[in-house]
């Protein structure tokens, strides 16, 4: 199991959220050649973000920054 310091947990969530948003933009663009790969990766990113949010919520008291304040 990977252990993430509480001070880095908000940044991890926001980074994955940014990756999701970036790939959503890519999927809307007309420049992709192999769209299926990007769609699959986007699905994995959104699942990972959901998992991270659940883990964050379970440890929110220790982390000290409410999930609602992160806008994820």
Per-residue pLDDT tens digits of the chain, which is 72 residues long = 888 999 999 999 999 999 999 999 999 988 888 888 899 999 999 999 999 999 999 999 999 999 999 988
Distance (Å, whole) CA 39 – CA 5: 31
Helix 35-58 and helix 9-28, axial crossing angle in degrees, nearest 10: 160
Which structure tokens are listed for 30? 């007309």
Determine contact, residues 20/42, Cβ cutoff 8 Å: yes
pTM of the model: 0.89
Domain range summary for the chain, segments of one domain joined by + = 9-67
């Amino acid at each position: 199991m990977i252990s993430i310091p509480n001070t880095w947990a908000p940044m991890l969530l926001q980074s994955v959220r940014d990756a999701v948003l970036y790939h959503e933009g890519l999927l809307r663009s007309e420049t992709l050649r192999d769209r299926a790969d990007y769609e699959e990766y986007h699905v994995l990113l959104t699942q990972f973000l959901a998992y991270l949010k659940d883990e964050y919520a379970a440890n929110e008291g220790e982390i000290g920054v409410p999930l609602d304040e992160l806008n994820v």
